[in-house]
Structure 1
Amino acid sequence: MRGPVAPPQVPLAVSRADTFDSLVHDSAERLRRRLPELDDVVFAVLDVPLLPPEGGGGTRGVSPDAVPLGGVLRGKGTRPDRIVVYRRPVELRSRDRDECAQLVHDVVVEQAAELLGLAPESVDPRYGQD
């Protein structure tokens, strides 16, 4: 007999990717309640960062060997701004679910701050306290 180990409503059936998506969604909603400027921003998850364009590029002040945890993609025309969190790099830097949740929130706060031109502490006063 083959089939799922557990029914879909049981937490065992929730994948790590789904759990991670929920963490990003929860952080985004917390920030949207504080900052209505983020209402039109799309929050997304990618497994890994996209490769930088050939010939360099990258982020100022960041080693080309460093793997980013998130990024901001500015909208053009009718495309909205997007904040992206990279799942695998964040998971690899986290020891457990609580640490992962905190790191996800910190990344979301940092990227929102960059998008809005604010300090992370202005976006979330509890930033960096845990």
Structure 2
Amino acid sequence: MENGPSLTVSLGGDGGGWRRPFPVRRRNRRGRGLRGDLLPAHLPGHLTRPEQFEQWVSESAERLEYFWGERIEAAQFVVEDIPPHLEELLARGQAAPLGSFTPAVPGRPAVVTVFRHPVQMAARLRAELPEIIHDVVVEQTAQLLNMAPEAVDPGYGRTRP
């Protein structure tokens, strides 16, 4: 027998009563389930959607820097909401670009730009977004390196049909 306080609770009966498993008891009825992010906005770990997008671009850039090191470490990876002159492109019937590449000139590094809104519109599901972002970053970096995207990153295009 243990030394110290203890607590025993008896609910009566033989203890063989029927109980439903937890997932059956807790149903999401009529859309009243969890909505939105798991972390509330006031907590330090919460990221807004634009911040999450920038984090995905940064992770893709870090992956490519791991593969290509010095060849792309001077390049800047930038996120913009929409491409410049978007109205003119759409008026001509052209699709909005998902990204762009500006080559390096003396005194200014190369810039790889990912356009947030067109990329978000290209994703059918939010879960596809990191893969599409990575593909856009790889495509633009391939232009920087003057290579095929498949040679820049072997994982390029794996989510496309």
TM-score for both structures, normalised by structure 2: 0.66
**Which residue does 1:18 correspond to in 2?**
51
Q: Which amino acid aligns with 2:76?
A: V
Distance 1:17 1:82 in 2: 19
Aligned equivalents of 2:151, 2:45: Cα separation in 1: 38
1:50 alignment partner in structure 2:
84
Give aligned-pair identity as a percent.
Answer: 39
Name the residue aligned to 1:95: 124
Decide which structure has the larger Cα Rg and report it: 2
Pairing 1:34–2:67 present: yes
Which position in structure 2 is the counterpart of 1:67? 96
1:7 is the counterpart of 2:42: yes
Distance 1:30 1:10 in 2: 23
* Bigger mean CA offset, 93-102 vs 83-92: 93-102
Is the alpha carbon distance of 1:39 and 1:65 closer, same or farther for their aligned partners in structure 2, counting shifts above 3 Å?
Answer: same
- Give the distance between the partners of 1:120 and 1:10, measured in 2 at CA: 33
Describe the SS at the equivalent of 1:21: helix
One of 107, 110, 113 as aligned partner of 1:78: 107
- Larger displacement relative to structure 2 (34-43 or 91-100): 91-100
- Point out which structure has higher relative CO (alpha carbons under 8 A, 6+ apart): 1
Rate the CA distance shift 1:51–1:129 in 2: closer, same or farther, 3 A.
same
Residue 117 of structure 1 corresponds to which residue in structure 2? 146
Q: Offset at 1:49?
A: 0.3
Aligned length: 116
TM-score by length of 1: 0.81
Q: Work out which of the residue numbers 127, 136, 141 in structure 2 matches 1:107.
A: 136
| Structure 1 residues 49-76: Cα deviation after superposition (integer angstroms, max 9, x where no partner) | 0118x9xxx8xxxx76211000001222
Letter of the aligned partner of 1:102 in structure 2? E
Unaligned residue ranges in structure 1 (runs of 5+): none
Letter in 1 for 2:41: A
